[in-house]
Amino acid sequence: MRKFIFTIGFSILIGPILCQKLTPKKYIESEKLTRILFVLDASNSMYGRWENGTKMEIAQRLMNSMIDSLSEIQDPNFQLALRVYGHQKPVPPQDCNDTKLEVPFNYKNLNRIKQKIRELRPMGTTPIARSILSAAGDFPSCENCRNILILITDGVEACDEDPCKASKILQKKGILLKPFVIGVGLEPELVNSFDCVGSYYDAKNENTFKKVLDVIVTQVLNNTSAQINLIGNDGKASETNLPIILKNIKSDQIQNMFIHTLNYKNLPDTLNLDPLIQYEGQVFSIPPVKIDSSYIFSGKHNQLGTEIVSGELKLSMPGSKSLQYKPLAIVRQVGKSEILNVQYFNSTTRYLSGYYEIDILTLPRYQEKVLIEAGKTHDFIIPTPGDVTIQLKTNGYGSIFESVGSKLEWVINIDDQLTRQKFSLQPGQYILIFRSGSAQQTSYSKTKKFNVSSGNSTLVRLP
């Protein structure tokens, strides 16, 4: 038995606008143009009886009631449009291309839409999936628009196509968010078949339909408040000033980008988020932390969040103010090869608590494992380098080694094209091993020991 259902879907061409209280005075962005597209089933099956009339009569009555309700919304940026299918060619034969945009988007066209609805007489087939896909092109290009799609149908796809697949395609592209499905007289065994199309609501009569519609319209036309709690070392939502990106988990499109802010009351600032979007986010601490998938509930103040337990790494090189180039440290998480951060010396950076490996790009290199503890600063200090000038009579091949106990550790090769070279080396004992480029015997190799002290210059000559 074919039953009459009412399906409501929504689409957004751009991400929801972020409205933050950057100061005690609320920040207000320009209004988005709200556009609502009605897609109405006028196929032959809409002549079927339901309650006190035919499906089409009930659909016309509900449509007019809905349009009247929407006309009461005080929004200067508001447009409606109407697409109809199954109304141009009779069945049989079957024409699965029988879908048409009858009234395009415009301001103040409600009477034209209502008149067109009154003129409709059920006639043809039911190409639900094709109408959903075609509806995606009914919204003209717009950089600041919020689109709503409302589909009224008896719920039976007659063209061997898949409304679920059509819905998923548009959701993946970010054109259509997860629809709402309001079933009117739908058999219980058919309800599950619409789970893949959208969220299901059961309207047993017109009064129930109006209540459900009020809930849905409220969700669609009104953003909902939320805050993101970054739980710091004190167990409170005190962490802040970090970049955050929120994405639509269905389309993988970025919806919001902002710097987390505590307002003038020292509380996480309020955001306006879309209750139709399932969000997931990332806080760009070092390393980044995920905000788990979250639904936003309309009519409530929603709270999202994660823990940011952190400490600081302070890299110091006393007496290095005169250096033109400060050394760098490459920071990695223990056991991971990916570079997490590059930090300059004489700077302090906050990291999540845990163990880290740092490679310090001095000559010679330092490799250290450090523990960042919550609420504490790990101070890592290295001495200022000394300047070493190597003066050669002829260019050739050579390397500098550091003397570490009984071992020699390679530091750097010299340039085989130059006779005078300068290096900044950390304090210590070194050996230069060299052979002239023109020499053809190993015995011509020479060595020269030298010491380096912080802030001093050393000249190394090879005869």
Structural domain of residue 437, as residue ranges?
A: 386-462
- Least Cα distance to 294 among 284, 306, 285, 286 occurs for 306
Beta-strand relationship, 407-413 and 428-436: unpaired
3-class DSSP state of 71: helix
* In a shared domain, residues 103 and 114: yes
- Least Cα distance to 94 among 150, 24, 45 occurs for 45
Q: Give me 458's structure tokens.
A: 């050393």
Boundary-marking domain end, from 275, 307, 339: 307
Kindly indicate the confidence band of residue 60, based on its pLDDT and cuts at 50, 70 and 90: confident
Residue 25 has pLDDT above 70, yes or no: no
Residue 28 has pLDDT above 50, yes or no: no
**CA atoms of 220 and 179, how far apart (whole Å):** 11
Contacts of 441 (CB under 8 A, 6+ apart): none
412, burial (CB in 10 Å: exposed 0-12, middle 13-18, buried 19+): middle
SS (H, E, C) 269-297: CCEEECCCCEEEEEECCCCCEEEEEEECC
| CATH number of the domain encompassing residue 149 | 3.40.50.410
pLDDT of res. 384: 92
Beta-strand relationship, 243-248 and 278-283: antiparallel
* In a shared domain, residues 235 and 368: no
* φ, ψ at 20 (rounded to 5°): -110, 150
pLDDT of res. 158: 87
* φ, ψ at 272 (rounded to 5°): -105, 115
**How much is the CA Rg of the chain, to the nearest whole Å?**
35
**CA atoms of 183 and 204, how far apart (whole Å):** 8
**CA atoms of 409 and 372, how far apart (whole Å):** 29
| pLDDT tens, residue by residue, 303-316 | 999 999 999 999 99
Could you tell me the CA-to-CA distances from 463 to 181, 413, 447, 448, 457 in Å, in that order? Answer: 90, 19, 11, 10, 20
Would the CA dihedral through 84, 88, 91, 95 be positive or negative? Answer: negative
Kindly indicate the confidence band of residue 253, based on its pLDDT and cuts at 50, 70 and 90: confident
Residue 61 has pLDDT above 60, yes or no: yes
* In a shared domain, residues 21 and 135: yes
Question: CB neighbours (10 Å) of residue 107?
Answer: 11
* In a shared domain, residues 150 and 168: yes
pLDDT of res. 448: 95
* In a shared domain, residues 238 and 375: no
3-class DSSP state of 400: strand
Amino acid, single-letter form, for residue 8: I
Residue 251 has pLDDT above 70, yes or no: yes
Q: Are 421 and 411 in contact (CB under 8 A)?
A: no
Query: Within its chain, how far is the Cα of 366 from the centroid?
Result: 37
**CA atoms of 228 and 212, how far apart (whole Å):** 29
* In a shared domain, residues 351 and 265: no
* In a shared domain, residues 302 and 321: no
Residue 276 has pLDDT above 70, yes or no: yes
Would the CA dihedral through 79, 224, 253, 340 be positive or negative? Answer: positive
Boundary-marking domain end, from 354, 381, 408: 381
* In a shared domain, residues 434 and 412: yes
* In a shared domain, residues 194 and 129: yes
Q: DSSP assignment of 204-227, as one string?
A: -SHHHHHHHHHHHHHHHHS-EEEE
* φ, ψ at 77 (rounded to 5°): -100, 75
- Lowest-pLDDT range of 57-66, 254-263, 309-318: 57-66
pLDDT of res. 393: 93
Q: Give me 253's structure tokens.
A: 């499109």
Q: Which residue has the higher pLDDT, 170 or 236?
A: 236
What torsion do the CA atoms of 284, 287, 288, 291 make, to the nearest 10 degrees?
Answer: -130
Query: What does DSSP assign to residue 239?
Result: -
pLDDT of res. 240: 94
* In a shared domain, residues 195 and 328: no
pLDDT of res. 191: 72
76, burial (CB in 10 Å: exposed 0-12, middle 13-18, buried 19+): exposed
- Least Cα distance to 54 among 43, 65, 64 occurs for 43
pLDDT of res. 1: 39
| pLDDT tens, residue by residue, 408-460 | 999 999 999 999 999 999 999 999 999 999 998 999 999 999 999 998 999 99
Mean pLDDT on 315-328? 81
Boundary-marking domain end, from 265, 281, 307: 307
Most confident of 78-87, 154-163, 218-227, 405-414: 405-414
**CA atoms of 226 and 299, how far apart (whole Å):** 10
Q: What is the count of structural domains for the chain?
A: 4
- Lowest-pLDDT range of 18-27, 141-150, 171-180, 195-204: 18-27
Residue 29 has pLDDT above 50, yes or no: no
Mean pLDDT of the chain: 84
* In a shared domain, residues 167 and 152: yes
Q: Are 38 and 139 in contact (CB under 8 A)?
A: no
* In a shared domain, residues 25 and 136: yes
pLDDT of res. 5: 47
| pLDDT tens, residue by residue, 370-391 | 999 999 999 999 999 999 999 9
| pLDDT tens, residue by residue, 92-144 | 889 999 999 999 999 889 989 999 999 999 999 989 889 989 988 898 888 77
| CATH number of the domain encompassing residue 347 | 2.60.40.1120
